[in-house]
Chains A and B, each alone.
Chain A
Amino acid sequence: MKLSKLIFKLFILSLLLLQSCSQDDDDTVFPKGDYENGILVSGEGSGAGTGSISFIANDFSDSENLIYKKVNGTELGTFLQSMAFSKAKAFIVVDNSNTITVVDRYTFKKEGEITTGLATPRFLTVVGDKAYVTNWGAAVDETDDFVAVIDLNSLQLIKTISVSNGPERIIEKDGKLFVSHKGAYTNNNVISVISINDDSVKEIVVKDRPDELFFSDSGALVVLSEGRTLYDASWNVTGHTQAGISMINTSSLSVDLELTFEEGEHPSLMVYEDDMIYYALNGAIFKMNAEATALPSSSILTAEGYLYAMEVEDNRIYATNTSFSDVSTLNIYDVTTQEKIDSKEVALGASKIYFN
C-alpha cells in the first residue's frame, strides 16, 4: 500500500519534472550518470586524507578517484565505513562523523544527509522506503548499541531498535534483518535476528567476532566469525578462540553446520559468488563450494600487500593492497588462471568494493 503510494508520488513528480524540462529542452532521455557500469571502491581515509570513493569502469579503461569530492566540492571525512544502495541512490556511511550522505548512485550528486539519531553508524541496508543502520553507540558503553530505522523520504529517524554489543553488517530476507555482532571495541558472538513487523529481536550464538554474512543460493545464512586472540593481564597472547563459518537455517534459526578453523587462524573478508565462498587468511585467498562440509586445504592465490577488501564478480577477484598513509591499489585477478589482469590506484584506506 505504502509502496504504491510512493510510486504514484514519484510518477506525478517525474511528470512535473519532465514537463518543466521539456519547456526548454526537448530531449527527455537522461543518461544515468558517469558512475554507472563500473566498480566502486570506498576508502576509510585516515590522518593522511579524507575518506573517499573511487570509480573504475567495468572494462578497466577508465578510473577516477575522489568522485564524491569532484562532484560536490566537499570531503566526506573519516572514517568512511561502508556504502549501501537503493535502486537510484547510494548511502555513504561515515562513522566518526555520525553522517550518512545520500547521493544519486550514478552521478554521485549529493541529495541529502542524515546526521541526527546516529552514534558511530557502521552498515546500512535498504528495505522498501526505510533504511536500517547498525550503530555502536558511545565508545565506552556496551549496552547502548542499536539499529536506527530511517525514513528514506524525509531522511528522519523513525525509531531505534536496541541490540547486543557491536552490531556490524546487516542484511534482510523475508521481513527479517540479520545483524552480525563483531563486538565494536570489545568482542561478541551473536547474530541478531530482527523481525521488521514488531521489532522483536532473537539471537543466534556463533563463533567469536562474526563479521561478513550473506544468503547462499540454497537459502542458508552464511556467517564468517573471525575468532578472538586471548591475552593475559599484561597483554601476552595466551591463546585463541576458534574461527568458523556457520550455516544457519533462516526459518528455524538453528546452526546447521559449522566449519571451524585451526586454533590461531583468524580468517576475514568472506564473499559469495556463484555458489562459491571466498575468504582471506593471512593475505591468502581461499575458495570453497558453498555446500562443502570441510574447509579447503590450500589457497588459490596470495594477494599483494595489505589485503583489506575483497570482492569476486564474473570470474574475477578484486583484492586491495590497502594503505592508510597513501592511496591504495586494487588488484584484479582471474579466478581460473589466478593471474593478475590489471591494477588501479584507488581510495586511501580502501576497505569496501561494490559493483554499480
Chain B
Amino acid sequence: MKQTFFYILALIISFDGFTQQDTLVNTLKEVVIHGDPRLKQHSVGYKVQTLNDSVLLKNTESFTNVLRFNSPLYLRENGVSGVSSASFRGTSATNTAVIWNGININAVNNGQTDFNALTVSLYDGIDIRSGGGSLEYGSGAIGGSIHLNDDLVFSAKKKTTHQFVLSAGSFEAYNSLYKFKMSQSKLAINAGVSYNESENDYPLYDTDFKNENGAFKNLSLNFNAALLLSKYSKLKFYNSNYWGERFFSGELPNPETAKDKYQNSNNYFLLVYTQNKYKLKQEARMAYLFETYRYFADRAFDDYDFGRAKRYRFNYDLSYRFLGIDAQITSYSEYESTLGKADKISEKHRKQFSQSIVYKHDLSDWLNYEAKVRQDFNSDYKIPFTYALGAQFKASSQFFIRTNGSKNYRVPTYNDLYWPSQGNLSLVPESALQGELGIGFKNDVVSVDAGVFYIASNDKITWIPNGDPERPGVWVPINIDEVTSKGVEIQVGVEEQFHKHIVKLQANYSFTQAIDEATKKQVIFTPEHLFKTNLSYNYKLFGWYYQQLYNGMVYTTASNSEDFVVPAFFVANTGVDFKVLHTLQSQLSLGVKINNLFNEKYVVRPRRPMPNRNFNINLNYKF
C-alpha cells in the first residue's frame, strides 16, 4: 500500500513538472492556508464556531476550560486535570471527534480524546462543528467535531513574528508558550513550544483536605511548514508532539488515598501535497500518528499498564470544478492501517479503506447545497453506508436558513473488541441518523444562529454484567442502547465599536433532551441546560473580559434517581489586561485573571470539589 501511495505521489509531482512556473506569486499579498480546508469548503448547512488564538489564550490552563467556557459542549472532568471528556448534543464522549489538521486523532484504545491530555494554546484556532461528520472525519463524529488547526501564511513580503505568553497562578500553576511564525512568498513556517505545570493542590472546600496527588506537567512542540512549489502546487508538513505527566487526585471522603500516575504522549506527522490547476484539484496526504500511555496504579512503584497505537493514513482527493454551473465534485479515498497494543492486548492490526464522493453546488446566489456519500471497508466489522446532505438558503442579505441531515457511525474501540476475556468480537459500529434545521441572521454588528436538532442513535455500545447470556456476571460490551436526542442550540455574537470603545459578546445556550429509549429517561451526565457567555470590552490600551457558565443539573443513574445527581452550578472568570507596549513591530500586554470570581462551590463529578477563587498574572509579548 505504501508503495502505491508513493507511486501516486510521484505521478502527481511529475504531472506538475509540465505546468509552467510563472511569477504570479509575486503579486500575492497574503494567502492563509488553513490546516483543514475541507471543513471550510464542505460545511454547507452546518454551524461552525471558530475560537481564534486570542480566545484560546484566555484559558491556557486546559483544553477542557477552553471548551467549557466557549463552546456548546458539555465537559465532564474528574477534577481539575483528571480524565476529561466532551459531548455534543446529548451524545457520548466517544461521539465527539477531535480532528488535527483534518485528521481524526481520537485514541485507538478507548475511542475518545482526553481533553486534559492535549495542549491547544499553540494552535492558531479551533473550529467546532456541531452535527454529524463521519462522512468527512470517519468514526466518532456523531455529535460533532472539534478541529485543531495550524495556519500557514504566504506573504509577498517576508514577515517574522515571535510571541511569548507566560502566566503564573495560584496553586503553583505556570503556563508558558513561544510561537514562531515566518512567511515568505514561497515558504511559510509556524512553530511553537509550550510547557505547563501546576501543583494543582487547591483546598477542597468545606473540608480540611487539599487536592492531593493532582500535580501535572506537560510539554508540546509543534512544527509546521508549507512550501510553494509552483503557482499550482504546494507541499505542506505538519508535526505535533505532546508529552504529559499527571497524577490523578482522589475523591472525598478520603482524597489522600490517591496514588495514581498517568503519562501519555502523542506524535503526529502529516505530509500534504496539493495541486490546483484549472478545473482539477488533487491532494495527496500521508500521515503517521503515534500515541502511547502508561498508567501507574501506585506512583511509588515502577509497575504500569500501557497502551500504544500506530496509525498510518494515506489519502488521495481529486476534485473537479464545473465552471458553467458553479459546482464541484470531489472524490476522497482513504486507507488507514492501525496497529494497537496494550499490556493486556496483543498487537492487533485493523485496516480500513473508505471512499467518498461529495457534490457541492452553488445553485444561485441564494441557494447552495451539498450531497455526500461514503462507504467504508473494514477488516474487523461491517461499517454502515453513510451519507449527508446540507443546504443553505439565503433569504436576504442578512437572513439565512440552513439545514443538514446525515448518517454517522462510531466503530468499537480496541478495548471493546479485545479486552482480555471480556472484549466482544461480534460488536457492530454504533450508528446515528440525524437532522438539523437552523435560522440565522448576520450583519456587521450582530450574528445569531438558532437551530433545532434530532439525533437517533442505535446499537450504542455499553459494558454490562450479564451482557453475554452464556457467562452471567461477566462484564462485556454489547450493542444495546438506543438514544434519541433532541434540542435547541442558540448562538449570539455581538461586536460593536464606537470611537475607541470595542464591545464583544458571545453567548451559547443549549437545551438537550437525550432519552434512553429503554428507560425513557434522560441519559446520564447530560445537562438539559447549558448557558455560556463571554463578554469583553476594550478601550485604547485597556482590556477587560468576563466569562461565565451555567451548567444544569445532571443525573448519574439510568433511572434518574434524585438521590444521585450533580447539582447545577454557575461559575465565572474575569480578567483585565493592559498594553504596555503597542507599536506595529511589537506589542506587550500584562494581565490579571480571577478564576471562579464568585467563589462558587461546585463539582463536575461527585465528591470532587472544584477550585475556589484563584488568580493568575500573565504576560503576552509579540514582536
Contacts and interface: CB of A to CB of B under 8 A. Distances in A.
B559 A49 contact: no
Contact of B254 (A47, A77, A138, A233): A77
Interface string B452-493: 000000000000111000001100000000000000000000
Contacts of B376: none
A325 B557 contact: yes
Contacts of B472: 282-283, 306-307
A96 interface: yes
B583 interface: no
Given A231-B420, A233-B346, A139 B297 contact: yes
A305 B466 CA distance: 8
A44 to B, nearest CB: 13
Contacts of A138: 259, 297-298, 300-301
A50 B564 CA distance: 8
A140 B251 contact: no
A285 B303 CA distance: 40
B346 A97 contact: no
B93 to A, nearest CB: 12
B421 A77 contact: no
Interface centre among B254, B420, B421, by most chain A C-beta atoms within 10 angstroms, is B254
B346 to A, nearest CB: 5
A349 B346 CA distance: 32
Size class of the contact patch on chain B: 20 to 34
Contacts of A306: 465-466, 472-473
Contact of A48 (B344, B345, B473, B564): B564
A75 B251 CA distance: 11
A141 interface: yes
B19 interface: no
Interface string B231-243: 0000000000000
B564 A348 contact: yes
A98 interface: yes
Contacts of B496: none
A237 interface: yes
B396 interface: no
Given A97-B253, A235-B421, A325 B558 contact: yes
Given A139-B297, A306-B465, A77 B607 contact: yes
B307 interface: no
B301 A115 contact: no
B524 interface: yes
Interface string B548-560: 0000000011110
B525 to A, nearest CB: 9
A76 interface: yes
Interface in A125-152: 138-141
A141 B301 CA distance: 9
A290 interface: no
B564 A49 contact: yes
Interface string B242-270: 00000000111110110100000000000
Contacts of B303: 140
Size class of the contact patch on chain A: 35 or more
A49 B554 CA distance: 12
Contacts of A348: 557, 564
Interface string A292-330: 000000000000011110000000000000111111000
Contacts of A235: 344-346, 420-421
A49 B298 contact: no
A327 B561 contact: yes
B563 interface: yes
Contact of B253 (A75, A237, A308): A75
Nearest to A321: B466
Interface in B552-590: 556-559, 561, 563-564
A77 B252 contact: yes
Interface string B339-351: 0000011100000
A308 B466 CA distance: 11
A65 interface: yes
Nearest to B300: A138
A97 B254 contact: yes
A50 B303 CA distance: 29
B606 interface: yes
Contacts of B556: 47-49
Contacts of B466: 283, 305-306
Nearest to B344: A235
A77 B252 CA distance: 7
Contacts of A98: 254, 256-257
A355 B464 CA distance: 29
A307 B473 CA distance: 8
Contacts of B254: 77, 94, 97-99, 115
Nearest to A322: B465
A307 B563 CA distance: 23
A323 B465 CA distance: 9
Contact of A75 (B252, B259, B524): B252
Nearest to A324: B465
Nearest to A139: B297
A325 B346 contact: no
Interface string A65-91: 110000000111110000000000000
Contacts of B344: 235
A139 B296 CA distance: 10
A233 B607 CA distance: 39
A117 to B, nearest CB: 12
A234 interface: yes
Nearest to B78: A47
B481 to A, nearest CB: 11
Contacts of A78: 251
Contacts of A237: 421
Interface string B276-298: 00000000000000000000011
Interface centre among B252, B420, B564, B606, by most chain A C-beta atoms within 10 angstroms, is B564
B193 to A, nearest CB: 34
A307 B298 CA distance: 32
Nearest to A284: B472
16 contacts: A48-B524, A48-B557, A49-B561, A50-B607, A74-B252, A99-B253, A115-B254, A138-B259, A138-B298, A138-B301, A141-B298, A141-B301, A235-B344, A268-B473, A323-B558, A326-B561
Q: Can you list the 7 inter-chain pairs with the closest CB atoms, starting with the nearest?
A: A49-B564, A235-B420, A140-B303, A139-B297, A97-B254, A98-B257, A326-B558
Interface of B: 250-254, 256-257, 259, 297-298, 300-301, 303, 344-346, 420-421, 464-466, 472-473, 524, 556-559, 561, 563-564, 605-607
Given A231-B420, A231-B421, A326-B558, 19 more contacts: A50-B607, A66-B563, A75-B606, A77-B252, A78-B251, A94-B254, A138-B297, A139-B297, A233-B346, A235-B420, A282-B472, A282-B473, A283-B473, A308-B465, A308-B473, A323-B558, A326-B559, A326-B561, A327-B563
